[in-house]
Amino acid sequence: MTRQFNNLIDGEWTAGERYTPNVNPSNTNEIVGEFASASAEHVTAAIAAARRVFPVWSSYPCQARADILMRAAQTLRAESQRLGELLSREEGRALKEAISEVIRAAQIFEYFSGEVVRTGGEIFPSTRPGAEVFVTREPLGVVGLITPWNVPIAIPAWKIAPALAYGNCVVIKPAELVPASTWEICRILMEAGLPKGVLNLVMGPGRVVGEAFLASPDIDAISFTGSVATGRHIAAQAVQSQKKVQCEMGGKNPLIVLDDADLEIATDVAIDGGFFWTGQRCTASSRLIVQKGIHDRFVARMLEKMAALKVDHALKDGTQIGPAVDERQLSQNLRYVDIAREEGGDVHGGGRLERETPGFYMAPALVLNTQNHWRINQEEVFGPVACVIRVENYEDALAVANDTQFGLSSGICTNSLAASTHFRRHSRAGTVAVNLTTTGSEYHVAFGGRRASSYGAREQGRYAMDFYTAIKTSYVRA
Ligand code: NDP
C-alpha cells in the first residue's frame, strides 16, 4: 500500500481532507507517496499555532536555536543519499545533482546556525545630551513560505533556515508536485528538537493553501519563489494587507560568448547552464549570444557535446539529464520548440524521447539563427531549450543581453578583463557570472534578480536578515 504523509500542524502530523499522489516523472507507474491536502481551516489552525508559540520561540536561548539548526544539518548530511534518491524520484533530477542539492540544504542550515549569534545591532551617539541610540533587529512574527517544484529541498531550506534562525515561526506550503522533500525537512527539524508549532507544514494546491496565506491577517510576511504571474498576484495581495513580501521569479538569462573565449569552457558552461537539471532552473542560460568569429566553432562543438548527453531515468547510472517534471511541463517545452521553428529558428534536437520506463523525456534542443525579439527568446520555457543569437561585437552582445523583461542572472565567456569588467558593471541582472555557468549560486551570498525576476529583499547569506527581521531604533537616556 502507498504510504500517506500528513501535514504538520502545531506539532501533530494531521490527516488531510484528501490525498494527492506524488508521481515519479522518470517512471509514472511509481507513486512516491500520497500527500495530505490541507483545507483552509487547517491553514488557519497552523497559522494560529505559529502565532501562539511565537513569544516562546522569539525569546528562545540563541544557543538552543543554533543547536537545533545544526542538528538538522547533520541529519541532512547523514541521510543525503536517501534524500537525494527521494528528490530524484519526486522531481526527476539526475541523482548526483539531487544529492548535491541535499548537501546544499545541509550547508544552508549550518550557515544559519552560525547566523543565530551574529544578528547583532548598532549603537549610535544621540544628538540629545546623555542619551544613546540602539538600532536592533527583531523577528517579524509568523512567516508564510511558498515554494516551487524545481528546487524541492534547497529552496525550502533557504527560506526555513533564516526564518527560524532570526526567531520567526513558519507556515510552509511546498509545490503540490514535490511535497516529499519539504516533508522530510519538517520531520528532521522536529526530531532535532524544534518546539511544537514553530514550524507548520500545509500541503496542497496554491489556489487553496496559498490563497489562505494571503487572506490571513495573522501572517506578517510572505516569501515566495515561483512564476512571474503567481508572484505578481501574491505581491499585490500582500501589499494590500501590508504584509512584508519577497518574490523570486522567472528568468530568460543571457550567456555571451566572445571571440576570445576558451571554446571548451564556453561550451561546457552553455551545456550545463542550458540543459542540466532538464533546463528547469530560473537561472538557466537560455539565450546564447555568440560573436560572429567564434559562432560556427561554438555551434559545432555544442552539437557534438549535445549528442553525447545521456537523457534517462534520474536514478540510472550515468544519467545526466532526467525527465521534465510532468506532462504539462513537457508539453510546454515541445510547444516552445514548435514556436521557435515557426519563428524561423533552425532546431537541433528537441523531440520527445521513449525510455525503458514511461516518463516525460525530451532531447535537449539548440535553436540556431534566432533573433532576440522572437517569443522563444523573450518568454521563459523552463525546459532544456537554448537559442543562439549571432552578434557582431561586444557592444551588440551587451545590448541584446539586456533587452528582456527579466533580470535574474547573466554570464559572459571571455579572456578579456576589460569586457568582463564592463559586463559585470552594465549587465542588468542580479547575478553575473564570468567564465562560469549562470546557474551557480552560493549559500553565503545574496541571491536574487531585478525587474520582472524579483520583488523585495534578497535571499541567502546575511542579506536574508533584511527580509526576516524588523529594525527597531531605541533612544535611551540612562
Ligand atoms: P508557480 O508560480 O506555478 O508556483 C509556485 C508556488 O506558488 C507553488 O507552491 C504553487 O502551488 C503556489 N501558488 C500557485 N498559485 C498560487 C496562489 N494563487 N496563491 C498562492 N500560491 C500559489 O511556479 P512553479 O512551481 O511552476 O515554478 C516554476 C517557476 O519558478 C519558474 O518561473 C521559475 O523561473 C521560478 N523559479 C524562480 C527561482 C528564483 O529564485 N528566482 C528559483 C526557482 C524557480 P501549487 O503549484 O502547488 O498549486
Contact status, residue 323 vs residue 341, Cβ threshold 8 Å: no
Distance 87 CA to ligand 1 centre (A): 17
Q: Does any ligand 1 atom lie closer than 6 A to the CB of residue 397?
A: no
3-state secondary structure of 139: strand
Distance 403 CA to ligand 1 centre (A): 24
State how far the Cα of 423 lies from the Cα of 442, in Å rounded to an integer: 21
State how far the Cα of 132 lies from the Cα of 478, in Å rounded to an integer: 8
Distance 369 CA to ligand 1 centre (A): 32
Nearest CA to ligand 1 atom 15: 206
- Residue-by-residue pLDDT tens, the chain, 478 positions: 789 999 999 999 999 989 999 999 999 999 999 999 999 999 999 999 999 999 999 999 999 999 999 999 999 999 999 999 999 999 999 999 999 999 999 999 999 999 999 988 999 999 999 999 999 999 999 999 999 999 999 999 999 999 999 999 999 999 999 999 999 999 999 999 999 999 999 999 999 999 999 999 999 999 999 999 999 999 999 999 999 999 999 999 999 999 999 999 999 999 999 999 999 999 999 999 999 999 999 999 999 999 999 999 999 999 999 999 999 999 999 999 999 999 999 999 999 999 999 999 999 999 999 999 999 999 999 999 999 999 999 999 999 999 999 999 999 999 999 999 999 999 999 999 999 999 989 999 999 999 999 999 999 999 999 999 999 999 999 8
The answer for residues whose C-beta is within 8 angstroms of residue 317's C-beta and 6 or more apart is none
What pLDDT, on a 0 to 100 scale, did the predictor assign at position 239? 96
Q: Beta strand 361-362 with 365-368: parallel, antiparallel or unpaired?
A: unpaired
Distance 225 CA to ligand 1 centre (A): 6
The string of pLDDT tens digits covering residues 214-231 is 999 999 999 999 999 999
Q: Does any ligand 1 atom lie closer than 6 A to the CB of residue 379?
A: no
Nearest CA to ligand 1 atom 46: 175
Q: Which atom of ligand 1 is nearest to the CA of 228?
A: 32
Distance 146 CA to ligand 1 centre (A): 8
Nearest CA to ligand 1 atom 23: 226
Distance 300 CA to ligand 1 centre (A): 36
Q: Does any ligand 1 atom lie closer than 6 A to the CB of residue 16?
A: no
Q: Does any ligand 1 atom lie closer than 6 A to the CB of residue 175?
A: yes
Distance 224 CA to ligand 1 centre (A): 8
Nearest CA to ligand 1 atom 42: 282
Which listed residue (169, 186, 247, 282) is catalytic?
Answer: 282
Q: Does any ligand 1 atom lie closer than 6 A to the CB of residue 380?
A: yes
What phi, psi does 286 have (nearest 5°)?
-95, -10
Q: Which atom of ligand 1 is nearest to the CA of 213?
A: 20
Q: Does any ligand 1 atom lie closer than 6 A to the CB of residue 211?
A: yes
Distance 404 CA to ligand 1 centre (A): 21
Q: Does any ligand 1 atom lie closer than 6 A to the CB of residue 460?
A: no
State how far the Cα of 437 lies from the Cα of 412, in Å rounded to an integer: 9
Label residue 451 left, alpha or beta by phi (over 0 means left) and psi (-120 to 50 means alpha): left
Between the CA of residue 17 and those of 40, 167, 202, 219, what are the distances in Å?
10, 31, 12, 23
The answer to whether 4-249+444-477 and 253-434 have equal CATH topology is no
Relative orientation angle of helices 154-165 and 180-191, to the nearest 10 degrees: 30
pTM: 0.97
- The H or E element containing residue 75 is helix 62-78
State how far the Cα of 48 lies from the Cα of 43, in Å rounded to an integer: 9
Q: Does any ligand 1 atom lie closer than 6 A to the CB of residue 230?
A: yes
State the SS3 of 302-339.
HHHHHHCCCECCCCCCCCCECCCCCHHHHHHHHHHHHH
Domain 253-434 belongs to what topology?
A: Aldehyde Dehydrogenase; Chain A, domain 2 (3.40.309)
Pocket residue to mutate for ligand 1, from 225, 326, 380, 431, most atoms within 8 A of Cβ = 225
Contact status, residue 73 vs residue 106, Cβ threshold 8 Å: yes
Q: Does any ligand 1 atom lie closer than 6 A to the CB of residue 333?
A: no
Pocket residue to mutate for ligand 1, from 90, 101, 227, most atoms within 8 A of Cβ = 227
Q: Which atom of ligand 1 is nearest to the CA of 231?
A: 2
- Is it true that domain 4-249+444-477 has CATH number 1.10.150.20? no
* DSSP percent split of the chain into helix, strand, coil, nearest 5: 40, 25, 35
Q: Does any ligand 1 atom lie closer than 6 A to the CB of residue 146?
A: yes
Residue 369 one-letter amino acid = N
Q: Where are the domains of the chain?
A: 4-249+444-477, 253-434
Distance 227 CA to ligand 1 centre (A): 5
Q: Which atom of ligand 1 is nearest to the CA of 210?
A: 20
User: How does 190-217 read in b/e, with b if 16+ C-beta sit within 10 Å?
Assistant: bebebebbbbbbbbbebebbbbbbbebe
Nearest CA to ligand 1 atom 22: 206
Q: Does any ligand 1 atom lie closer than 6 A to the CB of residue 225?
A: yes
Residue 282 bears catalytic tag: yes
Nearest CA to ligand 1 atom 8: 175
State how far the Cα of 299 lies from the Cα of 366, in Å rounded to an integer: 9
